[in-house]
Amino acid sequence: LRPKLALSTPGLPLPLPLAIEGEPGSEMKFVIPERDPLTETVAPRAVTAAPLAEPARMGPLTLVSPLAGEVVSGRIPIRIELRQPRSYKYVTISIDGQLKGMTNREPFYVVWDTTQAADGPHEIRAKAFGGTEVEIVVSVTVQNLVSAGRNPYDVAHYRTTSRRLGGLLMHGHPPISVERLMLEAYRQQDPEQALDMYERVLAQDPTRVDLVPPLLALYREQGLALDPRTIPEPHEGIPGARRVALTFDDGPRPEYTTPILDLLRRYEARGTFLVTGRMSEKHPELIKAIAADGHELGNHTYNHLHLDTLSRAEVIYEVLKTKVILDDLTGGTSRLFRPPGGHYNQEVRESIAAMGFIPVFWSINGGSYSRLAPAEAAAAIMRRLRDGAILLLHNGGDNTLPLLPYLLAELKEAGYRCVTVSDLLRSPTEAPVLARPSFGPLPPSQLQGYAGDE
């Protein structure tokens, strides 16, 4: 019932408690209770509203919402009820003749984003297929503008917010063919939204292994997947401009990340932080601080497990959950990935290639010099260093923090610039990508590589 109809009537300038009299389909009255102190001085005895429409029905099929003639806006559920559902094979829901959803399991519904449709009348058609076909057709009016002469809603913000919320909530519904719903309702009209929802549902529920094949299909259709036979696996970048990349695995952790950021800022150096999803959830402020300082973020899985011991679906979950977390915190997507401990095999390669990630390794491991004093370790690294090197350091409790000030000073004195991995994998003549949130695949011909130390 809509008490706002009563509040718009002259004589009711204030929200008041209202009793409701009448039956559905008949005249309804919004009545102010007898003993309300404002009854006699402000409001009339009762306000009459238009009759309320009932849900459309045809035999066993009922279109619960929206109601015929209803004015709708934003994202709305289209809900169907079906008596004796086992007598029917499946239910379809179409809008203006275009299929939006198809399922054979209760509850029967789809979500319609009306911001994608023009304002005005639209036809909703629900159909049950079985021994006989039953169909309901209703007309509703889409109205997403506030009113003539006024600004429209912030549709872009609405779409982003509702897409993320929808993805997070979708997995919590009762048993429903989420895969079918997404494919039918979103894949043809909005592949990016379908991909985003698949990622979020799978990131929240690793048991939904049935979503892995269609998710990987969407990556291929949108040109994001890489060929595992030719995927770049860089251990170093492109030389020619005295550039190196400092990479920091694990974390973030306040006791390590904050001083590392301070040191990089002091030496005007840029780094690449390969973070875990679990720690990123615990310290989102550090992820935002890393991005705000112009550093690059990469994916180091969610739980920091040895990927070569996991199934393909488990590998995809580990990487995907961290991707979703970083996307939400930074507003962009990095395609850089490093396997924890360097544990990497053909199955891991195929899994991350299917998702469009580029595995990044290293040519020098700072942990190999942990037995040396920090100044001696920095000097030893500099003796091995060459243009285009990728250095493995850690955002944790190894020798990185005591080593880093000496190493940064040595690099600066030797004329090296510390850049992100994405910049190092591009020719020195190409523009840097520090300001860009995403990183696309590079042709293998642009990369130099050799087997670095572990």
- Looking at the annotation, which residues are catalytic? 249, 394
Listed in order, strand segments (DSSP E) in 357-410 are 358-359, 364-365, 390-394
Q: In terms of Cα–Cα distance, which of 345, 390, 338 is closest to 365?
A: 390
Distance (Å, rounded) from C-alpha 450 to C-alpha 191?
38
Distance (Å, rounded) from C-alpha 50 to C-alpha 29?
9
**Cβ proximity of 386 and 449 under 8 Å:** no
Distance (Å, rounded) from C-alpha 299 to C-alpha 51?
57
399 backbone φψ class: left, alpha, beta (φ>0; ψ -120 to 50): alpha
Distance (Å, rounded) from C-alpha 419 to C-alpha 293?
13
Amino acid at the residue 345? N
Provide the sign of the torsion angle of the four alpha carbons 176, 178, 180, 184, taken in this order.
positive
Q: Are strands 358-359 and 120-130 parallel, antiparallel or unpaired?
A: unpaired
Distance (Å, rounded) from C-alpha 331 to C-alpha 329?
6
Contacts 24+ apart (CB under 8 A), 256-261: 256/395, 256/396, 256/397, 256/400, 256/401, 257/283, 257/286, 257/289, 257/290, 257/395, 258/286, 258/289, 259/401, 260/395, 260/400, 260/401, 260/404, 261/289, 261/290, 261/293, 261/295
Structure token digits, residue 122: 């639209």
